[in-house]
Amino acid sequence: MADDYSYPTDKYVLLGKVAKAHGLRGEVKIFSFSGQPENFCGYKEVILVNTTGNLSSAFAIEKFRVQGRTVIVKLDRVDSRGQAEEIEGMGVLLAKDLLPDTAEDEFYWYQYEGKLVFDQSGRSIGRVESLFNNGAQDIIVVKSGTEEILIPVTKSIIVKETAEELIVNPPPGLLDLKNEAGD
C-alpha cells in the first residue's frame, strides 16, 4: 500500500486503490490489496478516499470482472472516461459492517492488528503491528520494542483469542531467536 490514506479505521477497511480508468464508459481498474480481487463479488457499495482524507458518498458497484490481481469495476455515477480519470489514485474503502461474516476458523486481518500478544505463561511478547501472507499462510508481525517477531497464524500456535489479546504457543526456538539476536 504505497499510498497512505487517512480514514476512520474503526468504520472502514481499505480494499485497494483505483489504479486507472479503463475504457470509455467510466470503468476503473482497481488494484486489490488483499490479492483476492474476486472478493468484490460480495460487495454492493464502496466509499472512495483521497490522500487528504476526504471521503466520497457511497458508490454502488454496478458490475465487475477480475483481471489478474485487479478488478475492473463500473461504479454508479461514473459514466465517462473523464469521470473515471478523476478518481484515479483514490483508495477504495468498505464499511466494516458490510463485510461478509467469517467462518469459525477465519478472520479479517484488521481484527488482529493492534492486539497484545502473550505466550501461554502470560509473558508479554508485543503487539501485532501488521500481517502479511507468505504464500503458504498468514503471518503476524509482532512489534516488541525495536524488534519484530514473525509468528505464523495457525491453530497450533494461536491457541486463544480475546477482543484485546492473542495467546500463542510458539514452536521451540521461535522467541529465542529474537533473544539471541539481541545478545
Verify that 84 and 118 share a domain, yes or no: no
Verify that 116 and 85 share a domain, yes or no: no
Q: Give per-residue pLDDT as tens, 118-145.
A: 999 999 999 999 888 887 888 999 998 8
Does residue 92 lie in a domain region?
Answer: yes
Instruction: Give the integer Cα–Cα distance in Å for 153 and 139.
Output: 6
Mean pLDDT across the chain: 88
Does residue 20 lie in a domain region?
Answer: yes
When divided into structural domains, the chain yields a total of 2
Q: What is the mean pLDDT of residues 43-62?
A: 95
pLDDT given at position 120: 92
Verify that 86 and 121 share a domain, yes or no: no
Does residue 57 lie in a domain region?
Answer: yes
pLDDT given at position 177: 52
Verify that 91 and 16 share a domain, yes or no: yes
Write down which residue in 66, 98, 130 finishes a domain.
Answer: 98
Verify that 113 and 93 share a domain, yes or no: no
**Contact (CB, 8 A) for 140 and 127:** no
Verify that 117 and 164 share a domain, yes or no: yes
Please say if the pLDDT value at position 113 is more than 50.
yes
The full DSSP string for the chain is --S-----TTTEEEEEEEEEEETTTTEEEEEETTS-GGGGGG-SEEEEE-TT-PBPPPEEEEEEEEETTEEEEEETT--SHHHHHHTTT-EEEEEGGGSPPPPTT---GGGTTT-EEEETTS-EEEEEEEEEE-SSSEEEEEEETTEEEEEE--TTTEEEE-SSEEEE-PPTTHHHHHHHHH-
Domain range for 150 is 109-182
Instruction: Give the integer Cα–Cα distance in Å for 16 and 102.
Output: 20
Q: Give per-residue pLDDT as tens, 68-102.
A: 889 999 999 999 999 999 999 999 999 998 888 88
Please say if the pLDDT value at position 179 is more than 80.
no
CATH number of the domain that residue 29 is part of: 2.40.30.60
Predicted confidence band of residue 110 (pLDDT cuts 50, 70, 90):
confident
Please say if the pLDDT value at position 3 is more than 80.
no
Q: Give per-residue pLDDT as tens, 58-74.
A: 999 999 999 988 999 99
pLDDT given at position 181: 46
